[in-house]
Amino acid sequence: MIHNSSSHALVLLLLTAAIALTGCEQNQPNKNLPAQQSAVKKYEAATTLHGTVSDSKGYAENGTVNVSNVDGKIIASTTLQNSKNYSVEVPANTPLPVVLSFSPEQGEKMVSVVVHPSITKYDINPMTTAIAAKAATMGGYTDSNIRQAAETVSSMSDAGKATAGAQGNPTQRYGGWH
């Protein structure tokens, strides 16, 4: 049996240890709190997105360009008819990211991802499609994932990077992403 003064000493020792550990935990970031979310980017006003569409054979001139949210809900659409250029208006208050997808009359669907409300030129081509696919496997369409995906997708020559917009004007880097 523990003597009464010994039990008081033991309790005092345990309380001191508990207070010390609590103090240490207060200096550490709380891992149980949710990560702070950054502000959702969106188009404050109706915005026209534009660019060119090309595939491995050259410019694609016939097909449909859809603007959709990441869940696939179509927000806006336009049709290319004998033109390599598209232009489509995105409504005000549309949250980003949005996905531009080109569905040709024949051939493979291609995509480009919009993550910045201030950039309006986005080309759609096999490189932007590969970058979007890579970013999706990295956890989603964030600026960081798009940048990292663009840097790791390395099967393109320097000449191809220039035509995809990966060099030159930084506002047009990665087919419009920057």
Number of H helices, E strands in the chain: 4, 8
Enter the DSSP assignment of 99: E
Task: Output the pLDDT for position 70.
Answer: 92
Which pLDDT tens digits describe the chain residue by residue (178 residues)?
445 554 444 444 343 444 444 444 444 444 444 444 557 899 999 999 999 999 999 999 999 999 999 999 999 999 999 999 999 999 999 999 999 999 998 889 999 999 999 999 999 999 999 999 999 999 999 999 999 999 988 555 554 443 343 433 334 445 554 4
| 5-53 residue pLDDT tens | 544 444 443 434 444 444 444 444 444 444 445 578 999 999 999 999 9
CA-nearest of 123, 172, 127 to 150 is 127
Taking the C-alpha atoms of residue 87 and residue 50, their distance in angstroms, rounded to an integer, is 4
Taking the C-alpha atoms of residue 30 and residue 68, their distance in angstroms, rounded to an integer, is 37
Task: Output the pLDDT for position 4.
Answer: 52
Task: Output the pLDDT for position 107.
Answer: 86
The structure's pTM equals 0.68
CA-nearest of 140, 110, 122 to 177 is 122
Sign of the C-alpha dihedral, residues 136, 139, 145, 148? negative
Query: Domain 47-168 has what CATH class?
Result: mainly beta
Whether the CB-CB separation of 77 and 98 falls below 8 Å is answered with no
CA-nearest of 154, 156, 174, 155 to 164 is 174
For the chain, the domains span 47-168
Whether the CB-CB separation of 28 and 65 falls below 8 Å is answered with no
Whether the CB-CB separation of 174 and 112 falls below 8 Å is answered with no
